[in-house]
Amino acid sequence: MKSKDVFLIFLIFLFLNDIYADEQISIGLDKENRDCENITRDTLIERIFSSDFVGTFNGKRVEYTASLKEKIIYEKDNPDLPMASFFYTEYIAKNNNQRPVIFSFNGGPGSASLWLHMGVLGPKVIKVPSDATDDGSPPYKIIDNKLSPLSDADLVFIDPVGTGYSRAIGCHKGEEFWGVSEDPKIIAEFIRRWITDNKRWNSPRYILGESYGGIRGPLLVSELRSGSITPIEVNGLLLVAPASDYQYLVFHPGNNSPHYGFLPSYAATAYYHGKVESNKSLNSFYLESKKFSLEEYGPALLKGSRITTEDKNEIMKKYSYFTGLSKRFVEDFDMRVDASSFRKELLRDEGYSVGRLDSRYKNSDYMAGGQYPDTDVSSEGFMSAYVTAIHTWFAEIGVEMDMLYQSGDSDVYLSWKHPQEWKGNDFGYVNTVPHIARAQRYNKDFKVYVSCGLYDLATPCFTAENFMNDNSVDMNRVIFSEFEAGHMMYNHQPSFDRFLNEVTEFIK
């Protein structure tokens, strides 16, 4: 046989092999599609785990049912075909269906609700060291939460699709629900179903979100009141360390907003670690840094190369005074020090980096050199305790699940679709604060509570103050509360107490 004939036969073999492989893939996909189409309303049973408890919260004795429940959301146009399985934890007081309801979630995106749940709002909470030291190893301290707002409201903790036990099901994939625009639509449908199933249409409703919850929360308010479902008004929105406007949070060349927004938290951090020369109180020093940032530093950045050498030197000198960084370091960064570089540099001479979620935390990196910290030492300081707490409490409720409880999922975060549509156009920085202003205009009773921590280098207080004042929000209808703590201010005991007192007062 000639070599060219052998080669021709080889090509034919490859061609036929590709056809066979494609057919096998097609057969596999067809089978998968047939299998998923067989999952219908008739084949599904929503799982429920419940136990009854009695507790005393804010001096009130409350008999309540604690439950981990599953709620299956079905396609709008094909109501027998499931889309998503939501798992949520609820605490419902007995014999009173007129109480307010607080729907809570964390952020990420890709985070379950265990942080708010076990950290501050639930009837049981985990206690980590208030002084920003590591949580260590088990056993951890899980205690009754005497200040839980369960005294005055029923609580629903939502784990979005891809977090906790919540998953896409049927012929749907998680990615369908992972996006700025997609996420609030499916959660709004969950809330509508919950209100309907529990006959709570006339109960006051509050939305409480942390971190990325500051994006989800305002969009959810709009989706509930004027989206594709039955109009549902919300009484109030509570935002904890909100990330509601990315322009103020993302360090990009040409974007000066985060630089003057983060500086006051740099100042508070430097003050806490003894890196500033000032006899003033923390509050006075912090207020002074905000004034400098707004009236001098921000305008100086806007001038760019138009600033005079004399003025630039004066700004750098003051920047160094407030942040504890050397004037040379500030000059090397052209007065624009990003948060990661600050965290690495502030205590470099002591061999430490400081935390991102809570800059009170400090720890050594693998190497003292380099521009960025190895990790967020504050996250390392409490994550294990929280994950242990949620599983321990679920066991007490009677939960038996073989699935992995996803406290956080990087796949969700990395797959998240961030473009946001505004008046028919996509634009760069996600900003949901205008939805707050819109809710104020069209609901005279709508009120807002914003809380933040001075030592938060993820979503600093001054960034929240700036974007709330920069988007037509009526600040006379906003309670803005600052705490001497980090992103999860409730990890700091005095802040825990004040935060819960303010939340309970807000919903009364």
Is there a single domain that holds both residue 59 and residue 113?
Answer: yes
Is there a single domain that holds both residue 222 and residue 292?
Answer: no
DSSP calls for 12-53? HHHHHHHHHHHHHHHHHHHHHHHHHHT--GGG----EEEEEE
Q: Tally the residues of the chain.
A: 508
Is there a single domain that holds both residue 236 and residue 289?
Answer: no
What per-residue confidence (pLDDT) applies to 424?
Answer: 56
* Dist. CA 455–CA 436, nearest whole Å: 25
What per-residue confidence (pLDDT) applies to 31?
Answer: 43
Contact status, residue 47 vs residue 69, Cβ threshold 8 Å: yes
Range 38-43 average pLDDT: 73
Closest-CA residue to 76 (of 228, 218, 216, 283)? 228
* Dist. CA 133–CA 174, nearest whole Å: 36
Is there a single domain that holds both residue 93 and residue 224?
Answer: yes
Taking 50 as the threshold, does the pLDDT of residue 90 lie above it? Answer: yes
What per-residue confidence (pLDDT) applies to 222?
Answer: 96
- Residue 230 pLDDT class (50, 70, 90 cuts): confident
Is there a single domain that holds both residue 283 and residue 307?
Answer: yes
Range of the structural domain that residue 372 is part of: 253-378
Here the tokens at position 458 are: 């993820």
- Residue 1 pLDDT class (50, 70, 90 cuts): low
Taking 60 as the threshold, does the pLDDT of residue 438 lie above it? Answer: yes
Is there a single domain that holds both residue 417 and residue 463?
Answer: yes
Closest-CA residue to 507 (of 205, 233, 225)? 205
Q: Do the bridges between strand 141-144 and strand 124-127 make them parallel or antiparallel, or are there none, so unpaired?
A: antiparallel
Residue with tokens 């707050």: 436
The CATH number of the domain where 431 resides is what? 3.40.50.1820
Half-sphere exposure (Cβ direction) of 153: Cα atoms closer than 13 Å:
27
| Average pLDDT of the residues of the chain | 91
Number of compact structural domains in the chain: 2
* Dist. CA 242–CA 215, nearest whole Å: 7
Is there a single domain that holds both residue 281 and residue 199?
Answer: no
Backbone φ and ψ for 349, nearest 5 degrees, come out as -65, -20
The b/e string for 306-330 (b: 16+ C-beta within 10 A; e otherwise) is: ebeeeebeebbebbbbbbbbeeebb
Backbone φ and ψ for 34, nearest 5 degrees, come out as -65, -40
DSSP H/E element including 54: strand 48-57
The model's pTM: 0.90
What per-residue confidence (pLDDT) applies to 427?
Answer: 60
* Dist. CA 375–CA 356, nearest whole Å: 9
* Dist. CA 508–CA 502, nearest whole Å: 10
Task: Give a yes or no: residue 20 inside a domain.
Answer: no
* Tens-digit pLDDT profile for residues 265-317: 999 999 999 999 999 999 999 999 999 999 999 999 999 999 999 999 999 99
- Residue 18 pLDDT class (50, 70, 90 cuts): low
Here the tokens at position 182 are: 């997609």
Is there a single domain that holds both residue 465 and residue 445?
Answer: yes
Task: Give a yes or no: residue 17 inside a domain.
Answer: no
Range 188-203 average pLDDT: 96
- Residue 38 pLDDT class (50, 70, 90 cuts): confident
Is there a single domain that holds both residue 225 and residue 317?
Answer: no
Here the tokens at position 151 are: 């005294």
Query: Of 361, 378, 395, which residue sits at a domain end?
Result: 378
* Tens-digit pLDDT profile for residues 147-170: 999 999 999 999 999 999 999 999
Is there a single domain that holds both residue 201 and residue 229?
Answer: yes
Strands (E) in 305-411, as ranges, are 353-354, 362-363
* Tens-digit pLDDT profile for residues 98-149: 999 999 999 999 999 999 999 999 999 999 999 988 889 999 999 999 999 9
Is there a single domain that holds both residue 240 and residue 261?
Answer: no
With a pLDDT cut of 70, the percent of the chain lying above it is 91
Is there a single domain that holds both residue 289 and residue 236?
Answer: no
What per-residue confidence (pLDDT) applies to 3?
Answer: 54
- Residue 422 pLDDT class (50, 70, 90 cuts): low
